[in-house]
A = this chain, B = another copy of it.
Amino acid sequence: MKELANTTRDIARELARKYSTMTHDELDILESILVPMKYAKGEMILKEGEVCQHIYYIDRGLIRQFYFKNGKELTEHLGTDHSIFMCIESLFREEPTRLQVEALEPTMIYALPKLRLEEVALHHGNIQILYRKILEESLIISQVHADLVRFETAQDRYLKLCKLMPQVVLRAPLVYIANYLQMTPETLSRVRAATLGQ
């Protein structure tokens, strides 16, 4: 248990450093609301119909968020070490998700419960700022992803993703990368074959 507690503090520090600054008290509070969660490869982190109540921070691992559209599974997001994800509509509207989340590797997550985070944000300026920065960063990421797929050929989308998220490209199965880039697995396979030199 000692070791777990230490790690939780590490993550609190990591979050503080990335998104804000913290007094010792605030760091204690942040640490106290973090929830460590461990998932095996293939395990579901959030299933359709559940309500998302956390902002998730991936310590180590790989996840995909996906949903069904016209009977097909679409990949909304791929996330890896040291990044944030959440099921936006479910989290903020407190409704059941359409977005499901699956661990593609053994994955260690530290979750911030939204309700607790909002409580402490009211009285602790730096945590308020942390929460806001997390939302801001998510907005920027969604904008960058939108740009990634806008008016680009399949090949260019892939090459840009390689630069933007090299870890994801190396570690995620081709099907999900293809899906995330809005192309079929066949097309991505051909793009890769054509790209080998570059």
Interface residues of A (CB under 8 A from B): 69-70, 72, 74, 76, 88-89, 92-93, 121-122, 125, 128, 131-132, 135-136, 138-140, 142-143, 145-147, 149-151, 182
Closest Cβ of chain B to A40, distance in Å, is 28
Do A151 and B88 touch (CB < 8 A)? no
- Beyond contacts A131-B132, A150-B182: 19 other A-B pairs, Cβ-Cβ < 8 A, are A69-B147, A69-B151, A70-B151, A74-B150, A74-B151, A76-B143, A76-B146, A88-B136, A88-B139, A89-B140, A89-B143, A92-B136, A93-B140, A122-B128, A132-B135, A135-B139, A139-B139, A142-B142, A146-B146
Measured CA separation A187–B173 after assembly (Å): 34
Measured CA separation A128–B132 after assembly (Å): 10
From the candidates B76, B140, B150, name the one contacting A69 in the complex (CB within 8 A). B150
Do B92 and A139 touch (CB < 8 A)? yes
From the candidates B70, B125, B128, B139, name the one contacting A142 in the complex (CB within 8 A). B139
Q: Which B residues are in CB contact (< 8 Å) with A128?
A: 121-122, 128
Q: Which residue of B lies closest to A135 (CB)?
A: B135
Measured CA separation A139–B140 after assembly (Å): 9
Closest Cβ of chain B to A2, distance in Å, is 36
Most buried by B among A70, A76, A93, A146: A146
Do B143 and A88 touch (CB < 8 A)? yes
Do A145 and B146 touch (CB < 8 A)? yes
Do B143 and A142 touch (CB < 8 A)? yes
Q: Which B residues are in CB contact (< 8 Å) with A140?
A: 88-89, 92-93
